[in-house]
Chain A
């Protein structure tokens, strides 16, 4: 346990550094020899960031709004599409089911970015570029998420669904009333896994969006960074981009534990 604690601290060290950098005054950032911890924490870097954002093309709040909107929209649709697909793949017997799941398993080995140009052509032909949808739709068929969901669903006993059928529930009701609540753990898991990717999204903004007011926070932050004079500001932006992921993880993780304790079907 001592070993585990030490290793955990080492693992967290760069994050601690990140927090320290964000609160360091300029004279401490460029001190020699460099210091790890902050002596006189200030909010100067935050003020500097707000000055920079005041001069941006589009108000900072617009970038933030965009990112919140696409993150919520994406995660909601992701959970919806994947829970819906995993229920029949796990609990129904229909022709082609095995093949479909094998394709999903196989596609865990796809490299998404390897086929960038064909994907670009498909997306532009569908007219998704320059809309919020381009952030959401192409990433919804996430085979990792479906794979996890389906494995989780396999552990749910079939009897629950048979009982539901006897009570006269339709397939939709079985999905909505029984499968969905039972999949809470798995939902939390895929939200954790996919949150960081969409929250930090900047590549899609560069490739598919030409209207500045539709671009994401991740894109805006990536344009600020760099330059020795802005090291402290870079620390602040890094902090802003990283911490929501960690907070979501903490919240969802406790929810996972909680639902596991109360589920009582295993």
Chain B
């Protein structure tokens, strides 16, 4: 079969020389090529059929709807750039949500990315037998369900004096009355960020742990010959270049995850919208007000932002790996 393929390929290479732009023949060739690989297509088909139906199609529909007014009950009406104009010029709540989201993402994204990498790196230094225990200790928080999160952190940051943090601070005489952790406008986002950081060692962290085990140990010896001796130098010259693919993968997940943050511990709505994020703003419009067109415009703007930053990550981390 492979022999047949290679002969097909040489035929293809000769074709343009003989007859420039023979569409029919080229199409026939491609069809033939595709037919010989029908099994390949059959194997990938289930995935891509479902991918198109449940991921790509809704996204493209959103893109189209973002130029329309649509309240679900009536047919969508094309309104051009109106939604986007309103979004950037008139919707002060969107700007609030946008700045809250950026504030959250700029802290949670990099911090959890770097801590994930360092903890994975530390775990790689301990003996192999206890490695799974440490991996579990750090990964477990991200396995907890949303319900569990609310139980634990709700008590920790409870607004009355019975909350753990409040009672501790009262006892130490740092504060004289309970702090309104989830009501104080200035504290809502920071508290949300702390909670998010605790459970942020997720998929990226696991991929780092696995990535480190793949690093060829002989490279350390080779590096030692070149004068790389300290652990830190090894990290810089061996570990980081060797785990570039994982670094990129985790960066993409981190960017997407932190920018698409929904509600924080304070819930929704929050006083003065201090905890409003872009995703919450979006769900207000799509779920509560049924202004699907406008919600779609928000989704498109957020997606473009993620694609833009993701692209930058591909540029920075992609080629060296």
Contact = CB atoms under 8 A, between A and B. Distances in A.
Interface of A: 1, 3-4, 7-9, 11-12, 14-15, 17-18, 21, 30, 32-34, 36, 81-82, 84-85, 87-89, 92-95, 97, 100, 103-104, 106-119, 122-123, 126, 137-141, 143-144, 146-148, 151, 165, 171-172, 175, 189, 192-193, 196, 199-200, 218, 221-222, 225, 231, 234-235, 237-239, 241-242, 245-246, 249-250, 253-254, 257, 260
18 contacts: A15-B140, A34-B167, A88-B41, A93-B5, A94-B34, A108-B252, A109-B256, A111-B306, A118-B57, A118-B58, A122-B57, A140-B46, A196-B145, A238-B145, A242-B144, A242-B148, A245-B143, A246-B143
A32 B207 CA distance: 43
B62 A118 contact: yes
A175 B162 contact: no
Interface string B137-164: 1111101111110111101100001111
B203 interface: yes
B135 interface: yes
Contacts of A218: 145, 147
A122 B52 CA distance: 11
B204 to A, nearest CB: 11
Interface string B270-296: 000000000100110011000010011
A36 to B, nearest CB: 7
Main secondary structure of the interface of A (DSSP, over half): helix
B48 A92 contact: no
A111 B47 contact: no
B55 A14 contact: no
B147 A234 contact: yes
Interface string B285-321: 0110000100110010011001100100000000000
A21 B50 CA distance: 42
A235 B151 contact: yes
A204 B44 CA distance: 26
B44 A115 contact: no
Contacts of B176: none
Given A245-B143, A253-B136, A7 B260 contact: no
Nearest to A9: B137
Closest 7 CB pairs of A and B: A115-B58, A8-B137, A238-B148, A94-B37, A141-B51, A85-B47, A114-B299
A249 B143 contact: yes
B55 A95 contact: no
A119 B58 CA distance: 5
Interface residues of B, number: 90
B206 interface: yes
A196 B143 contact: yes
Contacts of A14: 141, 144, 152-153, 156, 198
A5 B284 CA distance: 43
Contact of A81 (B46, B134, B302, B303): B46
Given A84-B46, A192-B206, 17 more contacts: A1-B126, A4-B123, A8-B133, A12-B140, A15-B144, A21-B152, A84-B44, A88-B37, A88-B43, A89-B44, A111-B256, A113-B260, A115-B59, A119-B54, A141-B55, A144-B253, A147-B249
A1 B133 CA distance: 13
B65 interface: yes
A12 B253 CA distance: 23
B141 A108 contact: no
Nearest to A33: B167
Given A113-B279, A144-B253, A200-B147, A7 B47 contact: no
A100 B39 CA distance: 16
A45 to B, nearest CB: 12
Given A117-B286, A196-B143, A4 B122 contact: yes
B14 interface: no
B54 A116 contact: no
A141 B50 contact: yes
Given A122-B54, A147-B249, A241-B145, A17 B152 contact: yes
B143 A242 contact: yes
B286 A116 contact: yes
Contact of A100 (B44, B145, B163): B44
Contacts of A253: 132, 135-136
B119 A4 contact: yes
B61 A118 contact: yes
Contacts of A32: 161-162, 167
A123 B53 CA distance: 9
B72 interface: yes
Interface in B193-229: 198, 201, 203, 206-207, 210, 213
